[in-house]
Amino acid sequence: MKALIVSGTNEQPHVADVVLPPVGPGEVRVRIRAAGVCHSDLSMVNGTLAPSYPLVLGHEAAGVVIEVGPEDAGHHVDVGDHVVLNWAPPCRECWHCTHGEPWLCAEGGRPSAPRGRLASGEAAHVTLGLGALAEEVVVPSRAVIPVPADLPPDVAALLGCAVLTATGAVNRTATVRPGEAVVAIGLGGVGLAALIAARAAGADPVIGVDLSEAKRDLALAAGASHFLVSDDSMPKAVRGLTGGRGADHAIECVGRSATIGAAWRATRRGGQVTVVGMGARDDLVSLSALDIFHSARTLRSSVYGSSDPDRDLPVLAAAVSDGSLDLTPLITDRIPLEAAADAFTRMSRGEGARSVVLFD
Protein backbone atom coordinates (compact mmCIF):
# COMPACT_ATOMS: atom_id res chain seq x y z
CA MET A 1 0.00 0.00 0.00
CA LYS A 2 1.05 3.62 -0.55
CA ALA A 3 2.26 5.79 2.32
CA LEU A 4 4.04 9.09 2.89
CA ILE A 5 7.61 8.39 4.00
CA VAL A 6 10.46 10.55 5.28
CA SER A 7 13.91 8.96 5.22
CA GLY A 8 15.81 11.34 7.53
CA THR A 9 15.86 14.71 9.28
CA ASN A 10 14.92 17.60 6.97
CA GLU A 11 14.54 15.31 3.96
CA GLN A 12 11.57 15.76 1.65
CA PRO A 13 8.68 13.38 2.35
CA HIS A 14 7.76 11.12 -0.56
CA VAL A 15 5.19 8.46 -1.41
CA ALA A 16 6.46 4.88 -1.29
CA ASP A 17 5.16 1.32 -0.99
CA VAL A 18 4.98 -0.19 2.49
CA VAL A 19 4.17 -3.78 3.41
CA LEU A 20 2.22 -3.94 6.66
CA PRO A 21 2.43 -6.87 9.08
CA PRO A 22 -0.46 -9.34 9.42
CA VAL A 23 -3.20 -8.42 11.86
CA GLY A 24 -2.42 -10.02 15.21
CA PRO A 25 -4.37 -10.56 18.42
CA GLY A 26 -5.88 -7.33 19.70
CA GLU A 27 -5.18 -5.52 16.40
CA VAL A 28 -7.24 -4.20 13.52
CA ARG A 29 -6.57 -3.14 9.94
CA VAL A 30 -8.10 0.19 8.97
CA ARG A 31 -8.53 1.58 5.47
CA ILE A 32 -7.82 5.30 5.85
CA ARG A 33 -10.39 7.65 4.37
CA ALA A 34 -8.86 10.97 5.47
CA ALA A 35 -5.73 12.09 7.33
CA GLY A 36 -4.67 15.52 8.53
CA VAL A 37 -1.22 17.03 8.03
CA CYS A 38 -0.36 18.03 11.59
CA HIS A 39 2.46 20.18 12.97
CA SER A 40 3.62 17.25 15.12
CA ASP A 41 4.36 15.40 11.87
CA LEU A 42 6.44 18.38 10.75
CA SER A 43 8.35 18.07 14.03
CA MET A 44 9.23 14.52 12.99
CA VAL A 45 10.55 15.80 9.66
CA ASN A 46 12.56 18.80 10.84
CA GLY A 47 14.24 17.17 13.83
CA THR A 48 12.35 18.96 16.63
CA LEU A 49 11.47 15.46 17.81
CA ALA A 50 13.76 12.46 17.43
CA PRO A 51 12.00 9.57 15.68
CA SER A 52 13.62 6.62 13.96
CA TYR A 53 13.76 6.58 10.17
CA PRO A 54 12.53 5.69 7.63
CA LEU A 55 9.26 6.90 9.04
CA VAL A 56 5.66 6.69 7.83
CA LEU A 57 4.17 10.08 8.69
CA GLY A 58 0.69 10.80 10.00
CA HIS A 59 -1.27 10.33 13.21
CA GLU A 60 -4.53 12.27 12.73
CA ALA A 61 -6.92 10.14 10.68
CA ALA A 62 -10.27 8.45 10.22
CA GLY A 63 -11.17 5.32 8.30
CA VAL A 64 -13.08 2.05 8.16
CA VAL A 65 -12.14 -1.23 9.86
CA ILE A 66 -11.52 -3.87 7.19
CA GLU A 67 -10.04 -6.67 9.32
CA VAL A 68 -10.14 -7.64 12.98
CA GLY A 69 -7.49 -9.84 14.55
CA PRO A 70 -8.14 -12.84 16.77
CA GLU A 71 -10.64 -11.73 19.37
CA ASP A 72 -9.42 -10.99 22.87
CA ALA A 73 -10.33 -8.77 25.79
CA GLY A 74 -9.50 -5.65 23.77
CA HIS A 75 -11.95 -6.40 20.95
CA HIS A 76 -14.55 -3.66 20.65
CA VAL A 77 -14.96 -2.97 16.93
CA ASP A 78 -16.14 -4.97 13.93
CA VAL A 79 -15.41 -4.99 10.23
CA GLY A 80 -17.23 -2.06 8.63
CA ASP A 81 -17.09 0.21 11.67
CA HIS A 82 -16.11 3.80 10.99
CA VAL A 83 -13.39 4.89 13.38
CA VAL A 84 -11.06 7.72 14.38
CA LEU A 85 -7.48 6.83 15.26
CA ASN A 86 -6.10 7.56 18.72
CA TRP A 87 -2.33 8.21 18.76
CA ALA A 88 -2.05 7.80 22.54
CA PRO A 89 -4.34 4.92 23.54
CA PRO A 90 -4.16 4.46 27.32
CA CYS A 91 -3.18 1.09 28.72
CA ARG A 92 -5.71 1.49 31.59
CA GLU A 93 -3.27 -0.28 33.92
CA CYS A 94 -0.38 2.10 34.76
CA TRP A 95 -0.37 4.53 37.71
CA HIS A 96 -1.57 7.50 35.64
CA CYS A 97 -4.39 5.53 34.02
CA THR A 98 -5.63 4.19 37.34
CA HIS A 99 -5.46 7.66 38.89
CA GLY A 100 -7.63 9.44 36.33
CA GLU A 101 -4.88 10.73 34.01
CA PRO A 102 -5.02 8.49 30.92
CA TRP A 103 -3.49 11.26 28.77
CA LEU A 104 -0.25 10.74 30.72
CA CYS A 105 -0.26 6.96 30.22
CA ALA A 106 3.22 5.48 30.58
CA GLU A 107 2.71 3.48 27.36
CA GLY A 108 1.35 6.23 25.10
CA GLY A 109 2.70 8.83 22.69
CA ARG A 110 6.11 7.46 21.69
CA PRO A 111 7.48 9.30 18.60
CA SER A 112 7.91 6.20 16.45
CA ALA A 113 7.67 2.43 16.47
CA PRO A 114 8.59 -0.23 13.87
CA ARG A 115 5.63 -1.61 11.94
CA GLY A 116 6.02 -3.12 8.49
CA ARG A 117 8.69 -2.87 5.81
CA LEU A 118 9.55 -0.89 2.72
CA ALA A 119 9.72 -2.62 -0.65
CA SER A 120 13.51 -2.84 -0.13
CA GLY A 121 12.98 -4.93 2.98
CA GLU A 122 14.08 -2.17 5.35
CA ALA A 123 12.02 -1.87 8.54
CA ALA A 124 9.54 1.02 8.48
CA HIS A 125 8.75 3.00 11.61
CA VAL A 126 5.39 4.70 12.06
CA THR A 127 4.62 8.07 13.64
CA LEU A 128 3.17 7.82 17.15
CA GLY A 129 2.37 4.15 16.62
CA LEU A 130 0.08 4.87 13.66
CA GLY A 131 1.71 6.09 10.44
CA ALA A 132 -1.67 7.28 9.22
CA LEU A 133 -0.71 9.18 6.04
CA ALA A 134 -1.17 5.87 4.30
CA GLU A 135 -3.83 3.90 2.50
CA GLU A 136 -4.06 1.42 5.39
CA VAL A 137 -2.76 0.94 8.93
CA VAL A 138 -2.50 -2.01 11.31
CA VAL A 139 -2.93 -0.78 14.88
CA PRO A 140 -4.01 -2.01 18.31
CA SER A 141 -7.79 -2.20 18.58
CA ARG A 142 -7.64 0.18 21.56
CA ALA A 143 -6.20 2.80 19.17
CA VAL A 144 -9.48 3.16 17.28
CA ILE A 145 -12.66 4.87 18.46
CA PRO A 146 -15.99 4.22 16.69
CA VAL A 147 -17.84 7.22 15.25
CA PRO A 148 -21.07 7.57 13.26
CA ALA A 149 -20.77 6.36 9.66
CA ASP A 150 -22.28 9.59 8.31
CA LEU A 151 -19.61 11.78 9.90
CA PRO A 152 -17.62 13.40 7.04
CA PRO A 153 -14.18 11.73 6.99
CA ASP A 154 -12.20 14.98 6.67
CA VAL A 155 -13.86 16.38 9.79
CA ALA A 156 -13.68 13.03 11.61
CA ALA A 157 -9.92 12.90 11.07
CA LEU A 158 -9.41 16.22 12.87
CA LEU A 159 -11.23 14.96 15.95
CA GLY A 160 -8.37 12.58 16.70
CA CYS A 161 -5.75 15.28 17.28
CA ALA A 162 -6.34 18.97 16.57
CA VAL A 163 -9.89 19.22 17.88
CA LEU A 164 -9.59 16.89 20.88
CA THR A 165 -6.31 18.56 21.87
CA ALA A 166 -7.62 22.12 21.57
CA THR A 167 -11.05 21.62 23.11
CA GLY A 168 -9.50 19.69 25.98
CA ALA A 169 -6.89 22.41 26.54
CA VAL A 170 -9.61 25.05 26.76
CA ASN A 171 -12.24 23.11 28.70
CA ARG A 172 -10.30 20.58 30.77
CA THR A 173 -6.79 21.95 31.33
CA ALA A 174 -7.54 25.68 31.46
CA THR A 175 -11.23 25.30 32.45
CA VAL A 176 -12.19 28.52 30.69
CA ARG A 177 -15.36 30.10 32.10
CA PRO A 178 -17.89 32.46 30.49
CA GLY A 179 -16.67 36.04 30.35
CA GLU A 180 -12.98 35.22 30.71
CA ALA A 181 -10.49 36.63 28.21
CA VAL A 182 -8.63 34.08 26.09
CA VAL A 183 -5.71 34.59 23.72
CA ALA A 184 -4.64 31.73 21.43
CA ILE A 185 -1.14 32.04 19.99
CA GLY A 186 -0.26 30.18 16.80
CA LEU A 187 -3.24 29.64 14.48
CA GLY A 188 -2.67 26.36 12.77
CA GLY A 189 -5.31 23.66 13.12
CA VAL A 190 -4.95 23.41 16.90
CA GLY A 191 -4.90 27.17 17.48
CA LEU A 192 -7.99 27.74 15.36
CA ALA A 193 -9.76 24.87 17.13
CA ALA A 194 -8.85 26.55 20.43
CA LEU A 195 -10.60 29.72 19.23
CA ILE A 196 -13.70 27.67 18.37
CA ALA A 197 -13.64 26.05 21.82
CA ALA A 198 -13.05 29.35 23.64
CA ARG A 199 -15.96 31.00 21.87
CA ALA A 200 -18.19 28.00 22.65
CA ALA A 201 -17.14 28.24 26.32
CA GLY A 202 -18.40 31.83 26.44
CA ALA A 203 -14.99 33.52 26.59
CA ASP A 204 -14.90 37.26 25.83
CA PRO A 205 -12.79 38.63 24.32
CA VAL A 206 -11.33 35.82 22.22
CA ILE A 207 -8.05 36.97 20.71
CA GLY A 208 -6.19 35.13 17.94
CA VAL A 209 -2.46 35.74 17.42
CA ASP A 210 -0.26 34.61 14.55
CA LEU A 211 2.84 35.73 12.68
CA SER A 212 0.88 35.95 9.43
CA GLU A 213 -1.69 38.64 8.67
CA ALA A 214 -3.20 36.09 6.27
CA LYS A 215 -4.60 34.22 9.29
CA ARG A 216 -6.92 37.11 10.21
CA ASP A 217 -9.96 35.91 8.26
CA LEU A 218 -9.46 32.33 9.44
CA ALA A 219 -9.28 33.53 13.05
CA LEU A 220 -12.46 35.59 12.77
CA ALA A 221 -14.27 32.69 11.07
CA ALA A 222 -13.24 30.45 13.96
CA GLY A 223 -14.75 32.78 16.53
CA ALA A 224 -12.06 35.31 17.42
CA SER A 225 -13.33 38.73 18.36
CA HIS A 226 -9.88 40.23 17.67
CA PHE A 227 -6.78 39.30 15.69
CA LEU A 228 -3.22 40.44 16.38
CA VAL A 229 -0.04 39.92 14.40
CA SER A 230 2.60 38.42 16.67
CA ASP A 231 5.45 40.84 17.44
CA ASP A 232 7.10 42.36 20.50
CA SER A 233 4.12 44.63 21.09
CA MET A 234 1.59 41.79 21.21
CA PRO A 235 1.40 41.39 25.03
CA LYS A 236 0.77 45.13 25.40
CA ALA A 237 -1.93 44.95 22.73
CA VAL A 238 -3.62 42.08 24.59
CA ARG A 239 -3.61 44.14 27.78
CA GLY A 240 -5.17 46.98 25.83
CA LEU A 241 -8.06 44.67 24.86
CA THR A 242 -8.54 43.43 28.42
CA GLY A 243 -8.83 46.54 30.57
CA GLY A 244 -5.07 46.78 31.04
CA ARG A 245 -4.89 43.46 32.94
CA GLY A 246 -3.98 40.87 30.32
CA ALA A 247 -5.81 37.71 29.33
CA ASP A 248 -7.20 35.31 31.91
CA HIS A 249 -5.92 32.46 29.75
CA ALA A 250 -3.22 32.18 27.10
CA ILE A 251 -3.30 29.02 24.98
CA GLU A 252 0.15 28.61 23.41
CA CYS A 253 -0.07 26.40 20.31
CA VAL A 254 3.46 26.76 18.89
CA GLY A 255 5.80 25.09 21.36
CA ARG A 256 8.66 27.58 21.32
CA SER A 257 10.27 29.39 24.22
CA ALA A 258 9.70 32.77 22.54
CA THR A 259 5.95 32.28 22.21
CA ILE A 260 5.65 30.74 25.68
CA GLY A 261 7.35 33.87 27.03
CA ALA A 262 5.00 36.08 25.02
CA ALA A 263 2.01 34.13 26.34
CA TRP A 264 3.30 34.65 29.89
CA ARG A 265 3.58 38.41 29.38
CA ALA A 266 0.14 38.61 27.74
CA THR A 267 -1.55 36.97 30.75
CA ARG A 268 -2.85 38.88 33.77
CA ARG A 269 -1.58 38.44 37.32
CA GLY A 270 -3.13 35.24 38.60
CA GLY A 271 -3.88 34.06 35.06
CA GLN A 272 -3.02 30.78 33.37
CA VAL A 273 -0.70 29.93 30.49
CA THR A 274 -1.49 26.57 28.89
CA VAL A 275 1.18 25.19 26.56
CA VAL A 276 -0.25 22.95 23.85
CA GLY A 277 2.59 23.15 21.30
CA MET A 278 5.21 20.40 21.40
CA GLY A 279 8.66 21.98 21.45
CA ALA A 280 12.31 20.99 21.22
CA ARG A 281 14.24 19.48 24.12
CA ASP A 282 16.95 22.17 24.02
CA ASP A 283 14.64 25.21 23.67
CA LEU A 284 14.68 26.49 27.24
CA VAL A 285 12.10 28.85 28.76
CA SER A 286 13.52 31.54 31.08
CA LEU A 287 11.43 33.28 33.76
CA SER A 288 12.72 35.38 36.63
CA ALA A 289 12.13 34.12 40.16
CA LEU A 290 10.68 37.51 41.13
CA ASP A 291 8.26 37.48 38.18
CA ILE A 292 7.05 34.00 39.06
CA PHE A 293 6.33 35.11 42.62
CA HIS A 294 4.87 38.53 41.84
CA SER A 295 2.70 37.57 38.87
CA ALA A 296 1.10 34.52 40.56
CA ARG A 297 0.55 33.09 37.08
CA THR A 298 0.24 29.37 36.41
CA LEU A 299 2.26 27.76 33.62
CA ARG A 300 1.33 24.23 32.64
CA SER A 301 1.12 22.01 29.60
CA SER A 302 -1.89 20.24 28.14
CA VAL A 303 -1.01 16.77 26.87
CA TYR A 304 -3.65 15.59 24.38
CA GLY A 305 -6.02 18.14 25.90
CA SER A 306 -6.02 16.40 29.32
CA SER A 307 -8.66 14.23 27.66
CA ASP A 308 -9.75 10.62 27.73
CA PRO A 309 -10.30 10.02 24.00
CA ASP A 310 -12.60 7.03 24.52
CA ARG A 311 -14.89 9.27 26.59
CA ASP A 312 -14.47 12.68 24.97
CA LEU A 313 -14.13 12.00 21.26
CA PRO A 314 -17.63 10.51 20.81
CA VAL A 315 -19.04 13.63 22.50
CA LEU A 316 -17.28 15.82 19.95
CA ALA A 317 -18.46 13.59 17.10
CA ALA A 318 -22.04 13.95 18.31
CA ALA A 319 -21.65 17.73 18.47
CA VAL A 320 -20.44 17.79 14.86
CA SER A 321 -23.34 15.57 13.78
CA ASP A 322 -25.99 17.74 15.45
CA GLY A 323 -24.47 20.95 14.09
CA SER A 324 -23.46 22.48 17.42
CA LEU A 325 -19.74 22.18 16.56
CA ASP A 326 -18.69 23.66 13.21
CA LEU A 327 -15.16 22.66 12.21
CA THR A 328 -15.24 23.86 8.60
CA PRO A 329 -12.97 26.89 9.35
CA LEU A 330 -10.14 24.49 10.20
CA ILE A 331 -9.75 22.87 6.78
CA THR A 332 -8.12 25.01 4.11
CA ASP A 333 -6.95 22.29 1.67
CA ARG A 334 -8.27 18.87 0.68
CA ILE A 335 -5.55 17.04 -1.24
CA PRO A 336 -4.45 13.64 -2.55
CA LEU A 337 -1.58 11.77 -0.88
CA GLU A 338 0.81 12.81 -3.65
CA ALA A 339 0.35 16.47 -2.65
CA ALA A 340 1.06 15.92 1.05
CA ALA A 341 4.77 16.75 0.77
CA ASP A 342 3.87 20.20 -0.54
CA ALA A 343 1.44 20.59 2.38
CA PHE A 344 4.37 20.15 4.77
CA THR A 345 6.24 22.89 2.93
CA ARG A 346 3.27 25.25 3.22
CA MET A 347 2.92 24.43 6.90
CA SER A 348 6.58 25.24 7.53
CA ARG A 349 5.90 28.68 6.01
CA GLY A 350 2.87 29.18 8.28
CA GLU A 351 0.37 29.09 5.43
CA GLY A 352 -3.25 27.95 5.78
CA ALA A 353 -4.72 25.93 8.62
CA ARG A 354 -5.21 22.19 8.15
CA SER A 355 -4.51 20.27 4.95
CA VAL A 356 -6.44 16.99 4.87
CA VAL A 357 -5.46 14.10 2.60
CA LEU A 358 -8.52 12.34 1.15
CA PHE A 359 -8.13 8.74 0.03
CA ASP A 360 -11.65 8.02 -1.29
Burial class (CB in 10 A: 0-12, 13-18, 19+), 209: buried
In angstroms, what CA-CA distances link 243 with 205, 236, 237? 11, 11, 11
Instruction: Classify strands 267-275 and 247-252 as parallel, antiparallel or unpaired.
Output: parallel
| pLDDT confidence bin for 74, thresholds 50/70/90 | low
Domains of the chain by start residue, with CATH:
2-161+306-358 (3.90.180.10), 175-301 (3.40.50.720)
Burial class (CB in 10 A: 0-12, 13-18, 19+), 258: exposed
Predicted confidence (pLDDT) per residue in 313-337, tens digit: 999 999 999 999 999 889 999 999 9
In angstroms, what CA-CA distances link 69 with 32, 138, 146, 179, 222? 17, 10, 17, 49, 41
- CA-angle at 162, arms to 136 and 91, nearest 5°: 65
Instruction: Classify strands 2-6 and 14-19 as parallel, antiparallel or unpaired.
Output: antiparallel
Q: What is the CA radius of gyration of the chain?
A: 20
Residue 197: CB atoms within 10 Å: 28
Predicted confidence (pLDDT) per residue in 114-168, tens digit: 888 998 889 999 999 999 999 999 999 999 999 999 999 999 999 999 999 999 9
- CA-angle at 150, arms to 146 and 156, nearest 5°: 55
What average pLDDT does the segment 31-43 reach? 93
The pTM (predicted TM-score) of the whole model is 0.93
- Find residue 137's DSSP bridge partners: 30
Q: Give, as one character, the DSSP assignment of residue 213.
A: G
> What's the count of helices (H) and strands (E) in the chain, helices before strands?
11, 18
- 107, pLDDT greater than 90: no
